[in-house]
Structure 1
Amino acid sequence: MGTSSADTARYDRFVADLFGVMAYGELSAFERLSSDARYSPTLHDRAVLGRIAVIEFQHYEIVSAKLAAMGVDVEDAMLPFQAAVDHFHERTRPADWYESLMKAYVVDTVSADFYRMVARYVDAETRDVIEQIQSSEEATAVLRQRLKGALADDPRLASRLALWGRRLLGEAVTQAQRVGYEHAFLSGLLTNAESGANDAAARELVRSLTTELAENHSRRMVQLGLSG
């Protein structure tokens, strides 16, 4: 079955929105990590977070360049998502450096999970951009090892960081759902996956993605020695 011009326009809008929210997410991550690095307990930790901040900005530049190639202004693409992303960060202000470290890890891994899920439904060119953003497993591994080290040094952190991790996941999912519904985000994605996509299909996709995100998060927390 062919794809109508309306469906094509809807999918193109989805791709621009996807890159817009990705760009602002990466820019925000750069700003957050750059700020958090100042409160690191050691100079080594400061350098670690600084390096990860640089990687996030490189990701922003990749997405920004892709938007430019599509003829979309990066600021115009990011603006519709600024309020939601900023609201998430306002509601999840870390109390100390350890909570900052956990937040960086959770946001990094949950975002990667979400992009990986979205990549199942998009065209090859869009998938290639997503894969470039996901390619920095180095940053994830560094955050994971530093968290394990902190927990080994002070086991009393475990219950607090486990609770903090669950809150971060809940806030992230809530904001993702809000963005999805307010911007008809996932229905645009489904246009590329199947004909006859509708709001009910989008809601079902949200439920499926949410379940998978929660399961992956729980597994990672157990790997850190925390309850999911």
Structure 2
Amino acid sequence: MTKSPLTFGSAAAAEDAELALLGLIAYQELTSFEHLSSDARLSPTLVDRETLGRFAVTEFGHFEMVRELIADRGLDPQEVIEPFMASLDEMHRRTKPGDWYESLTKAYVIDGVAADFYALIASGLEPAARSLVEEVKTAQGITDWLRERLQLAIADHPERASRLALWGRRLLGEALTQAREIGETYDFWGALQAEGRNDRGQEMTALFARLVENHSRRMRQLGMTA
């Protein structure tokens, strides 16, 4: 992946950053749709299958929303989205779940970290970009259901807790590595500097600390140690 020459020193550079973020979010939403659809087919109950199918439709709707926004700017959505495909696909290849409960944990962890990352990066961009991220990544219903379903699975079989906790730590490591690589490639840290904040190193440290803190809170809600 070629490093983008974004510096955020001009309106044009900031617009490039927004487009990169839109491409990233669009592909994340598309892959979320695909994985939730697959998880639905493997569900142990019809209720689970119906719920995950509904969530998959929601994620595809988010993808279409972002895709249309890119097209409305006169750009080819495929060209904006394509740079993120290889790295995200590789991350998902490395984190292939072993069973349905690991799949739910993956959705819970990866989507949670991704939503936090997008929101923190968008905080340094224009109001329109922040508004879109908030609309697309506000999927509290999905997060709540995943948490409750995992809590039930652990209550039924307590031995699952340690295995899923270990899996969650691996997923966090992969998600943070992905966030760092994409952040550096597209120089999203420049967006965090745009409002006269600290230097990039401090902003990166603070951002990743926030990602870990939020992940730890979500895992504690499952009764697990992050």
Same fold, TM-score > 0.5, yes or no: yes
Taking the TM superposition and a 5 Å limit, the aligned residue runs for 1:82-121 are 82-121=85-124
Instruction: Say yes or no: does 1:170 pair with 2:168.
Output: no
Structure 1, gaps ≥5 residues long: none
Alignment of 1:197-216 (within 5 A): 201-216=199-214
Cα pair 2:14 2:125 within 8 Å, conserved: no
* Structure 1 counterpart of 2:137: 134
In 1, Cα distance between equivalents of 2:81 and 2:123: 23
For the pair 1:29 / 2:32, whether they are aligned, the reply is: yes
Q: Which has the higher helix share?
A: 1
Deviation of 1:205 after TM superposition, in Å, equals 2.2
Partner of 1:193: 195
Residues 123 and 5 of structure 1, relative CA distance in 2, 3 Å threshold: closer
SS of residue paired to 1:193: coil
Q: Which residue of 2 aligns with 1:224?
A: 222
Distance in 2, Cα, partners of 1:222 & 1:191: 32
TM, length-normalised to structure 2: 0.91
Query: Which residue number corresponds to residue 62 of structure 1?
Result: 65
Percent identical among aligned pairs is: 47
The answer as to whether partners of 1:36 and 1:97 remain within 8 angstroms in 2 is yes
Write the letter of the residue equivalent to 1:226.
M
Code of the residue aligned with 2:87 in structure 1: it is: A
Q: Which amino acid aligns with 1:123?
A: E
Name the structure 2 match of 1:153: 156
Q: Which runs of 5+ in 2 are unaligned?
A: 1-6
Q: What is the CA RMSD across the aligned residues, in angstroms?
A: 1.9
Deviation (angstroms), 1:164: 0.6
Shift of 1:140: 1.1
Instruction: Tell me whether 1:19 sits opposite 2:22 in the alignment.
Output: yes
The code of the aligned residue for 1:225 comes to G
Q: CA deviation at 1:36?
A: 1.8
- Shift of residue 96, structure 1, vs aligned partner: 0.2
